[in-house]
Amino acid sequence: MKLLCSSFQEHKNAVVIPLFEDKTIAKDVRTCFSNEEMGTIQLFLKQEREWNRGAVHYLFLPNGTHILFVAKGTKEKWSIRNTRVVSRCIVAHLKQLRISEASVDCRALLVDGYDEEEIFELVATEMMMADFSFDTYKQSGRQEKQHEMIVHLAVAGSASKKKALTSAVERGSIIGEEVNSARVLSNTPGSDMTPDIFADRAQKECETHGVTIEVWDENKIQDMGMGGVWGVGKGSVIKPRFLILKYEPNARQSQPLVFAGKGVTFDTGGLNVKPGNAMYEMHMDMSGASAVVRSIIGIARLGVPVNAIGLVPVVENAVSGESYKPGDILTSITGKTIEVLNTDAEGRVILADALGYAQQLNPKLVIDIATLTGAALAALGVQANAFFTNNQESEGLIRDLGEKSGDYMWQLPLWEEYEQEVKGVFGDVANTGKSRYGGTIAGAMFLKEFVDYPWAHIDMAPTMVSSDGDYLAKGAKGTGVRFLIAVARHFAAKK
């Protein structure tokens, strides 16, 4: 799909008009139609129809133009969240109708408190996400030519305003493309996305977009003392990798942003093997790693003037005679020991080494992102990610940027009262909590043991995959890419 900014005056073979339930069409939109056409439109809109948010009604004019009326709901409830959903809804229906070119009244998607550039960028991102499908392994997907569509986002005003909005749409398209690229990585089956393949793909993409990357093999991982990464990864025939991505455009910035992503390319649970019905989607247990790789590349593509480093441990949690075992004591890169109580709590074990390594980087802020616990899904459902932070300044920032980016965040406690949950008996820290309750908090408390800097942990398990009403293809959602890019842009703007 290609997104452009143009005048609404130019009718395409489809026109999209978002409307509130009062069905009032803006004056400048009405002037785009003849009196006869407006008569037909008004007659159509007077008919009794459902007008809840997301409802779409089609009108086919005699001149061959499709009109899609998209319900926005009530003015009182219109929000930035509604703009996201309606933007995706529009693309979903255009694709369903196999429309080749459409004009959208994007001004009808504006929200109080946000300027036009912000909304046009957001709409472009969400539309790109809605255009995505993962058909690589379908015979029809390989044989059919992908439906190409051009969507014009209507603008009005001066040439300079159009230029600014065009730039906003280009930025939004890049962000959407990076989200979709993360979804490709996460959706790819585990047999075709092993640690070495993931590292190779990341290396090629980084080289293309001006991001430097260093890939450590199993020997380097052991030499560096990353006992967590090696402990989890050694049980697989395909040995682990550790990736360091660097985008450093600002020579005067001494403290980089650091993003760390959990990269478990397939999670059997290890010797504490998962039940069959819990293993199906475990090729997506590297979605945090996908988010970090694609967000660093996105930051580079956008030219954000901030130094950003990505740390990505990549392993396969397999079952073999060499797999790590309950009762094992692993020594992390910090020297702190990890007592293994359950091999299916492996994500935090590999992140411990990434977070420990980050201590050497003098970071301004470290954010790790991981599909860490099913408990987060139980706590929050499928709409929000859990986050924790040891930095009071970051609390409001993470929540606000989550809302602004669309990767919604909800804070859970990181209180010292929970510290006993992860105290080890024979090692310094245990990789699961003592209680059956509060598993998400126990995971965060474990990770907290390996940081000595401003830090936030995001448990993205609740939004790993798309859900009903998202208007997104089934499979990985690409969570985290929009948020991490928003974090980088925020700190760049503070300079």
Output DSSP code: residue 437. S
Give the Å distances, CA to CA, from 323 to 148, 155, 233: 47, 59, 8
- And the tokens for 25? 């069409």
Tens-digit pLDDT profile for residues 403-457: 999 999 999 999 999 999 999 999 999 999 999 999 999 999 999 999 999 999 9
The verdict on whether residue 105 carries a ligand-binding annotation is no
Tens-digit pLDDT profile for residues 218-235: 999 999 999 999 999 999
Which DSSP string corresponds to 418-434? GGGGGB-SSSSEESS-S
Tens-digit pLDDT profile for residues 65-115: 899 999 999 999 999 999 999 999 999 999 999 999 999 999 899 999 999
pLDDT of 263 over the 60 cut: yes
The verdict on whether residue 267 carries a ligand-binding annotation is yes
Confidence category of residue 146, pLDDT binned at 50, 70, 90: low
Q: What is the mean pLDDT of residues 385-399?
A: 97
pLDDT of 327 over the 90 cut: yes
Residue 174: exposure state from Cβ atoms within 10 A (0-12, 13-18, ≥19)? buried
Residues taking part in catalysis:
274, 348
Mention every residue, 6+ apart, whose C-beta is less than 8 A from residue 280.
Answer: none
Output DSSP code: residue 147. P
Give residue for tokens 């499709």. Answer: 66
Output DSSP code: residue 476. B
- And the tokens for 234? 């050694």
The verdict on whether residue 262 carries a ligand-binding annotation is yes
CA 2, CA 22: separation in Å to the nearest integer?
31
- The predicted structure's pLDDT at residue 144: 57
Q: What is the mean pLDDT of residues 141-155?
A: 76
The domain ranges of the chain are: 2-179, 189-493
Tell me the HSE value of 102 on the side-chain side, using a 13 A CA sphere.
Answer: 26
- The predicted structure's pLDDT at residue 46: 92
CA 225, CA 353: separation in Å to the nearest integer?
9
For residues 288 and 27, the model is more confident at 288
pTM strictly above 0.75: yes
The verdict on whether residue 428 carries a ligand-binding annotation is no
Q: What architecture is the 189-493 domain classified under in CATH?
A: 3-Layer(aba) Sandwich (3.40)
- The predicted structure's pLDDT at residue 139: 81
CA 155, CA 105: separation in Å to the nearest integer?
8
- And the tokens for 93? 């229906």
Between 63-77, 118-132, 166-180, the lowest mean confidence (pLDDT) is in 63-77
The verdict on whether residue 407 carries a ligand-binding annotation is no
Residue 144: exposure state from Cβ atoms within 10 A (0-12, 13-18, ≥19)? exposed
CATH classification of 2-179, choosing from 3.40.220.10, 3.40.190.10, 3.30.2130.30, 3.40.50.12780? 3.40.220.10
